[in-house]
Amino acid sequence: MASHGICDRVAIVGMGCTPFGEHWDKGVDELLIDSTTEALGSAGVKLADVDAFWLGTMGSGISGLTLSRPLRIDYKPVSRLENMCATGSEAFRNACYAVASGAFDMVAAVGVEKLKDSGFSGLVGASPPNDGTSASMSAPAMFSLLAPAYANKYGVDEAELKDVLTRIAWKNHHNGALNPRAQFKKEVSKEVICNSPLVAGALGIFDCSGVSDGSAAAVIVRAEDAHRYTDNPIYVKALSFVAGPAAGPIDPDYDYTTFVEVVRSAEDAYKQAGIQDPRAELAMAEVHDCFTPTELVLMEDLGFAERGTAWKEVLAGTFDLDGDLPVNPDGGLKSFGHPIGASGLRMLFEAWTQLRGEAGARQIDNGKKLALTHNLGGAPGECVSFVSVVGSEPSA
């Protein structure tokens, strides 16, 4: 790819994140106010100090007025973005580029989604007109195809793969139980997970992320200005976003054991950040665990495990909170649910919290200084993918 990146040119100096869950007593306005106010407060700045805003929401508002109205923003640029499940990450990416370009000194990226009382039980929105080749199945059904395809390709017994997927859900609920901002703050036994009612294919209720409301926000400045606002800024090392040709459903060679878009965006992000061995160099990773087999496949697509071995690594505890590479230490989509526009920034909030040593009972202490976040939007074979790398120190 021809991506040159903006490594160490911008930094995050403030972040905020609401608790995710069933906010029956709060609307979009209140959620936006809460996350943005916390982000501004952590940076020690006022709303008037921010030059421009990027808002990510898939279905909870139209135009920048969704943000400018409740915050009473005084005639400044507010861009509303949508890129499926990577919407929050896309707001962050565009905000970072605006500062790196020199157009603005300080900007904010904000993500929000209000799903619980929207009338939708899952992802919001209707499918746009298409040529008939796109899959018409539900999201659980489409992602359920990953499990048997992986088992067949790598010779994993059906019962053993069930144990693997169960352990992924168990791990993420264990982590979420340590996080006061998670929607589901309880550990769930492997027995309960394994025997939960089926939703699609072999996927049970606990193999699927929940539906929730939430918002998260970040304040971004030039790297050289970061210490004016905080003693512990987080530096942006890489931002990669790709959209594929969406040919999977009609490509006879696509086997549902990989997201090519994730592979490409990860390769690009590692090149921007100068990462040679992500498993050895990353302190943690937040990945898009919309369904348990998604996380399994992502471990290989992101280079955390060799092809055909991620299932063994899961069982060995490699990606546990105290493993070689903790994955979803905040509980992931499994514990937070998935308010689409907020999820990417929520992942970044965990990287911010961990790299600053503020994660409390779930704090990772492996001496590493880099963290990764990942979103995908769409379905196997036809998706977009975002990968970021951030770090607690500028490059030497």
Sequence-separated (6 or more) residues with CB below 8 Å from residue 126: none
Residue (of 219, 290, 222, 231) closest to 259 by Cα position: 290
Catalytic residue (one of 23, 173, 338, 374): 338
**H/E element holding 80?**
strand 78-81
Structure tokens that stand for 332 in this block: 């992931």
Q: How far apart are CA 266 and CA 269, in angstroms?
A: 5
Sequence letter at residue 223: A
**C-alpha distance from residue 206 to each of 11, 155, 327, 330, 360 (Å):** 36, 24, 17, 17, 26
| DSSP symbols for 6-65 | -TTTEEEEEEEEPPPB--TT--HHHHHHHHHHHHHHHHT--GGG--EEEEE-SSS-SSTH
Report CA 375 to chain centroid distance, whole Å: 4
277 DSSP assignment: -
Tokens 């390709």, located at residue: 153
Structure tokens that stand for 35 in this block: 């996350």
Sequence-separated (6 or more) residues with CB below 8 Å from residue 322: none
Dihedral in degrees, nearest 10, Cα atoms 171, 174, 180, 186: 130
Residue (of 342, 290, 267, 294) closest to 114 by Cα position: 342
Structure tokens that stand for 65 in this block: 């007025």
Catalytic residue (one of 85, 96, 208, 383): 85
User: Would you call 338 a catalytic residue per the annotation?
Assistant: yes
Residues with catalytic roles: 85, 338
